[in-house]
Amino acid sequence: MSTATSEQTKFGPRKGERPLGGHVTEALQTQRNDFWQKGPLLTLLGFGAFVVYVHFRAFMGTEYYAAPYLSPFYSPLVYANPDFFAGSPTFHSLMGNLPQGAIDFWKGMVGWLPIALPLSPAFFILLFPASFRGTCYYYRKAYYRSLVGSPAGCSVCPLSSGTYHGETKLLLIQNLHRYAMYGAVAFIFILTYDFWLALWMPVDASGAPWVSNAVSGTDPAGYQFGFGVGSLVMMLNVVFLGGYTFGCHSWRHVIGGRLNRFANGNSGSTGLTYAIWKGSTWLNERHMPLAWISLFWVMFTDLYVWAVCNGWITDYNTWSMASGQ
Ligand code: FES
């Protein structure tokens, strides 16, 4: 076998080189006669719609809280901006209200734009889940195929025919995934806490539902326990995102995949590790469907909060039933 051929076996065809196996060589050409475009196309549409939606909602910077539900795109809420309708649960934020100096500075920065662009709290959040999902092993396959067309499908000639370097050069950044995983695990706990808060309706001193800081100028006087459709939506968001996160290849490695064996006869402590690793393996085998379900559901959870915020839909819950509304 010549050096060129063994190189090709390792890295795929170089520019101008004829690939092994007799495949046709022009971009996107193939001898397949099935509808191979279907998979990459659906991925492109699904993933593309999600990216557009997330950016739109993040840049809105408002309508992310409908008591007691906080949109996952804005959690943890770093600060509240009382300038905006339904975007001001000050008591829910880590740093209280955004300082006026920061608001003025931002307006000075973006004031020349033809549209109002608020300093959205989502800007401080979305980088973390985006770096996790964007570098996920499943999504790499999905967007390499659907967005870059390299490869576009099995036995289909890629759009670009340069030497493939794997994830050693530009794509080295994909190795960020093992670190982004720790942030993603932290987010599961944060979203679980948000679900807990979604069971407590803020009320004013008279026991009536609390009205946002922007209108009332006050924080809630107390909380009433209950349950609504929104609580269920937020709980399922934690379940699906947890299933996706704890089936991550990096998590599975950390939890037990790095071990040569689980039991050494000297310690019974490996039993729990093995059980968690088995659970992670079960989720890992379902990583692709969980990636899609969790992607859809986190978007739906935000949409639900947005719709309740604007009164487009009614959130059926025990609080309104108790008050006869
Ligand atoms: S491999 Fe998909 S989330 Fe880690």
Q: Are 138 and 291 in contact (CB under 8 A)?
A: yes
- Helices and strands (H and E) in the chain: how many: 12, 4
- Report the Cα 148 to chain-centroid distance in Å: 21
**For a pocket test of ligand 1, which of 47, 128, 138 has the largest count of ligand atoms closer than 8 A to its C-beta?**
138
Atom 2 of ligand 1: nearest residue by CA position? 136
Ligand 1 center–CA 115 separation, angstroms: 37
Report the distance separating Cα 153 and Cα 168, nearest Å.
Answer: 22
Instruction: Provide the domain count of the chain.
Output: 1
Report the distance separating Cα 247 and Cα 175, nearest Å.
Answer: 17
Check residue 2 and give its pLDDT: 45
Residues in a beta bridge with 224: 201
Closest ligand 1 atom to Cα of 248: 4
Q: Establish if 264 belongs to a structural domain.
A: yes
Ligand 1 center–CA 244 separation, angstroms: 7
Peptide bond into 89 cis (omega under 30): no
The letter for the amino acid at 260 is N
Q: Establish if 73 belongs to a structural domain.
A: yes
Domain coverage including residue 234: 35-322
Q: Establish if 16 belongs to a structural domain.
A: no
Q: Establish if 20 belongs to a structural domain.
A: no
- Report the Cα 234 to chain-centroid distance in Å: 14
Residues in a beta bridge with 200: 225
Check residue 167 and give its pLDDT: 78
Closest ligand 1 atom to Cα of 138: 2
Render each residue's pLDDT in the chain as its tens digit; 325 residues: 444 455 555 556 666 666 556 667 778 888 888 888 898 899 889 989 999 999 999 988 888 988 899 999 999 988 877 665 555 567 778 887 778 888 888 888 888 887 777 788 888 888 889 999 999 999 888 888 888 887 788 888 888 766 667 778 878 888 899 999 999 999 999 999 999 999 999 888 888 877 765 555 677 888 999 999 999 999 999 999 999 999 999 999 999 888 877 765 555 456 788 889 999 999 999 999 999 999 999 999 999 999 998 899 999 999 988 876 6
Q: Establish if 134 belongs to a structural domain.
A: yes
Ligand 1 center–CA 180 separation, angstroms: 10
Answer whether 248 contacts ligand 1 (Cβ < 6 A). yes
How far is the CA of 283 from the CAs of 62, 142, 245, 278, 290, in angstroms? 35, 19, 9, 9, 8
Q: Establish if 61 belongs to a structural domain.
A: yes
Check residue 228 and give its pLDDT: 96
Report the distance separating Cα 20 and Cα 18, nearest Å.
Answer: 7
Atom 4 of ligand 1: nearest residue by CA position? 248
Q: Establish if 284 belongs to a structural domain.
A: yes
Closest ligand 1 atom to Cα of 133: 3
Residues in a beta bridge with 228: 317
Q: Establish if 3 belongs to a structural domain.
A: no
Check residue 19 and give its pLDDT: 59
Answer whether 184 contacts ligand 1 (Cβ < 6 A). no
Would you give the end-to-end CA distance of the chain in angstroms?
80
DSSP characters over 233-268:
HHHHHHHHHHHHHTT-HHHHIIIIIT-S-S--SS-S
